[in-house]
Amino acid sequence: MTLSAHFLYKIIILFSPVCFGGVAHMVIVKRNLFPRLNIPISPRWLGQNKTYRGLICVPLLTAVGAVATRSLAGHSVPQDLRLQWPFVGHGLIVGFLYILGEIPNSYLKRRLKVYPGQLPSGVTYWGFRFLDTFDSFLPITLYYGWIFRFTVGQNCIALALFIVFAECVKKGLVICRLK
């Protein structure tokens, strides 16, 4: 299978809304906006950092990102990405899947006594480092694969590209002191 420019452009279009939602959420966290929603969902099981603010804001911000992506890309959006339902619905689903994907990793870290926002040291560091990116993008990639009928190979490539893009965004957040 070859990586066509069309497929790569499609992945960028699909990644952009969740990227916007995640970055905008970090701005909200850093500036402590909507403090009344900054309530941990389950401190014992998920830690202090999984809050109702994230549960509400990430899907909404990802929906805004989906609409913005559609508006900015205009007619250059590939025909097969022009969904039957509004981009806002697509953004809400992807934003929710992003949050849903983080729950098992957070749960596992709490069971291993890894503090919220931290990574373990030693051998397990790289495993959790990978999981911190992989966890959110696996359900998103499966969703996109289902909606757009990606092959298994395309799903694997999309997941790998999402992980690379996410790591670049995380580095940018660190440089901008938002993370």
Query: How do the pLDDT tens digits run along the chain, 179 residues long?
Result: 457 888 888 888 889 999 999 999 999 999 999 999 999 999 888 888 899 999 999 999 999 999 888 888 777 776 666 654 567 888 999 999 999 998 988 888 888 887 776 777 776 777 777 887 788 899 999 998 898 888 999 999 999 998 888 888 888 988 988 87
Residues 6+ apart with CB under 8 A from 79: none
- Looking at residue 88, its pLDDT comes to 85
- Looking at residue 1, its pLDDT comes to 47
How far is 73 from 160, CA to CA, in rounded Å? 23
- Count H helices, E strands: the chain? 6, 0
Q: Which pTM was predicted? A: 0.87
Residue found by looking up tokens 């940018």 in the block: 172
* Residue extents of the structural domains in the chain: 5-175
How far is 17 from 55, CA to CA, in rounded Å? 16
Residue closest to 58 by CA, chosen among 82, 41, 45: 41
pLDDT tens for 70-120 read 888 777 776 666 654 567 888 999 999 999 998 988 888 888 887 776 777
